[in-house]
Amino acid sequence: AQTVTQSQPEMSVQEAETVTLSCTYDTSENNYYLFWYKQPPSRQMILVIRQEAYKQQNATENRFSVNFQKAAKSFSLKISDSQLGDTAMYFCAFMKWGAQKLVFGQGTRLTINP
Amino acid sequence: KAGVTQTPRYLIKTRGQQVTLSCSPISGHRSVSWYQQTPGQGLQFLFEYFSETQRNKGNFPGRFSGRQFSNSRSEMNVSTLELGDSALYLCASSLSDSISGANVLTFGAGSRLTVL
């Protein structure tokens, strides 16, 4: 069974700063996907970024980028030039290739202060 | 393009009652999955349906059931409600391109169930 661990329950940074959220996972699978989802107070779960395990290049989406270390089973999210709208719960999630089941971490509550 | 629609958004039930939640996926999406979110247990997978068939099921008691219709809309039902069933129930849909394995789940806003 796969497990996902987010070791930072809460984080707080100032607007425009860079922040990194940590995630580690455990799996015996070789083909899989990793995701970061954000859940603002509105509760809508929104995809932030996705990484395919077979790709060595780290995924990037505008201000969001990941540091994917497959051997270490680590998948951290970096948010650059943080904005007030980035305030949300951030969930790291694992999906086995070909499956439709996400395994989520416990989440990190991120607050961006003005 | 309309997103994933869940109804109702909020509901209150008492112990012993049953509840049915509805989910309309994004047009063209054939896979619908359900998750339970609670402060204590976090986000947990309930089940996933594709073409009216349950393909995957999480570790929940038989009181939790679901189904999918020919138009891909899905419902989940919880019978004999317990206080611990109070949660946010999230539905997600995807194209489920199982050949490529490239799956992205799009979530609805959730149904907040309170059991008294």
Question: Which chain B residues in 46-75 lie under 8 Å from chain A, judged by CB atoms?
Answer: 48, 50, 55-56, 58
Question: A31 vs B101: CB contact, 8 Å cut-off?
Answer: yes
**Tens digits of per-residue pLDDT, A59-90?**
999 999 999 999 999 999 999 999 999 999 99
**Tens digits of per-residue pLDDT, A39-49?**
998 888 999 99
More confident residue, B103 or A88: A88
**Secondary-structure breakdown of chain A: helix, strand, coil percentages, each rounded to the nearest 5:** 5, 55, 45
Chain B interface disruption, residue of A33, A42, A45, most B CBs within 10 A: A45
- The dihedral of CA A40, A42, A43, A46: what is its sign? negative
**Tens digits of per-residue pLDDT, B10-64?**
999 999 999 999 999 999 888 999 999 999 999 999 999 999 999 999 999 999 9
Q: Which residues contact A109 (CB under 8 A, 6 or more apart)?
A: A9, A10, A11, A89, A90
Task: Select from A59, A35, A112 the least CA-distant residue to B107.
Answer: A35
Confidence band (pLDDT; 50, 70, 90) for B88?
very high
Confidence band (pLDDT; 50, 70, 90) for B1?
low
Question: B102 vs A42: CB contact, 8 Å cut-off?
Answer: no
The per-residue pLDDT for B95 is 82
pLDDT exceeds 90 at position A98:
no
The per-residue pLDDT for A56 is 86
Query: Mean per-residue pLDDT for B58-82?
Result: 97
Average pLDDT, chain A: 95
The per-residue pLDDT for B98 is 55
B75 forms beta bridges with B22, B67
Chain A interface disruption, residue of B26, B35, B36, B37, most A CBs within 10 A: B37
Q: Within a 10 A sphere around the Cβ of B30, how many other Cβ atoms?
A: 16
Separation of alpha carbons A6 and A102, rounded Å: 15
The per-residue pLDDT for B101 is 52
Separation of alpha carbons B93 and A1, rounded Å: 23
Partner-chain residue, chosen from A35, A43, A106, that has the shortest CB–CB distance to B42: A106
The per-residue pLDDT for B104 is 87
Question: Number of Cβ pairs closer than 8 Å across A and B?
Answer: 59
The per-residue pLDDT for B100 is 55
- On chain A, the residues whose CB falls within 8 A of the CB of B110 are 43-44
Average pLDDT, chain B: 93
Confidence band (pLDDT; 50, 70, 90) for B97?
low
pLDDT exceeds 80 at position A95:
yes
